């Protein structure tokens, strides 16, 4: 009897690992992935399943993991909170949702975002980048307007490191002649 329990546990772990493996590999290679038949957040029974599209966005030291659910009503959740609670400023809300507005999918898709690192503005821009990448998986025709708006290009500017002998990256101490 003990042997069968151990075998069942091993097979369950193996099945879970096989389902997670493609998503983990796409996160590590930073390529977008399409995941099908995943339980929506908050659904404990596991009967209702929905497809989502995955995209990663980055800006400075902020990283946003974006899931776009195809069948939705326009609900956006960031780190488990409502979108407007997490980003209270209207400017941040406009920046983060601008890809949805450009392609006209604001009320048709649900978005769940996990954001780590950076400040609020870099998190906002990371979310915009990840959302744009996920929308490309939904429809390749969205590429032209998103590319024109500059949402598919990763903004690679980061803070320059401090150099020895200087006060900051480039600011030198005051020079004295005598």
Question: For the segment 103-130, what is each residue's pLDDT rounded down to a tens digit?
Answer: 999 999 999 999 999 999 999 999 999 9
Q: For position 24, what pLDDT does the model report? A: 47
Structure tokens at 52: 């989502």
Q: Which residues contact 132 (CB under 8 A, 6 or more apart)?
A: 55, 57, 99, 146, 151, 152
d(CA 160, CA 170): 9
Which segment of 27-36, 49-58, 67-76, 140-149 scores lowest on mean pLDDT? 27-36
pLDDT in tens, 35-49: 554 545 545 444 445
What pLDDT sits at residue 15? 46
pLDDT value at residue 146: 96
| Model confidence pLDDT, tens digit, residues 54-101 | 999 999 999 999 999 988 899 999 999 999 999 999 999 999 999 999
The first and second tokens of residue 114, run together, are: 């996990």
Confidence (pLDDT) at 51: 86
All domains in the chain, ordered by first residue: 31-40+47-149 (3.30.230.10)
Does 3 have pLDDT greater than 70? no
Higher pLDDT, 31 or 96: 96
In the chain, at which residue ranges do the beta strands (DSSP E only) sit?
33-39, 49-59, 62-69, 76-78, 81-82, 110-116
pTM of the model: 0.70
């Amino acid at each position: 009897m003990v042997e069968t329990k151990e075998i069942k546990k091993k097979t369950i772990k193996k099945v879970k690992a096989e389902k997670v493996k493609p998503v983990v590999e796409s996160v590590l290679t930073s390529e977008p992935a399409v995941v099908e038949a995943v339980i929506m957040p908050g659904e404990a029974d596991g009967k209702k399943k929905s497809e989502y599209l995955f995209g990663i966005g980055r800006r400075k030291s902020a990283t946003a993991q974006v899931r776009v659910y195809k069948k939705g009503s326009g609900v956006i959740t960031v780190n488990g909170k409502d979108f407007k609670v997490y980003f209270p400023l209207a400017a941040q809300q406009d920046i983060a949702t601008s890809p949805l507005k450009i392609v006209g999918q604001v009320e048709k898709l649900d978005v769940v975002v996990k954001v780590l690192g950076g400040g609020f503005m870099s998190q906002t821009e990371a979310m915009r980048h990840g959302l744009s990448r996920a929308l490309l998986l939904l429809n390749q025709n969205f590429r032209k307007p998103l590319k024109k708006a500059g949402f598919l290009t990763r903004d690679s500017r980061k803070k320059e490191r401090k150099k020895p002998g200087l006060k900051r990256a480039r600011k030198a101490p005051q020079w004295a002649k005598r």
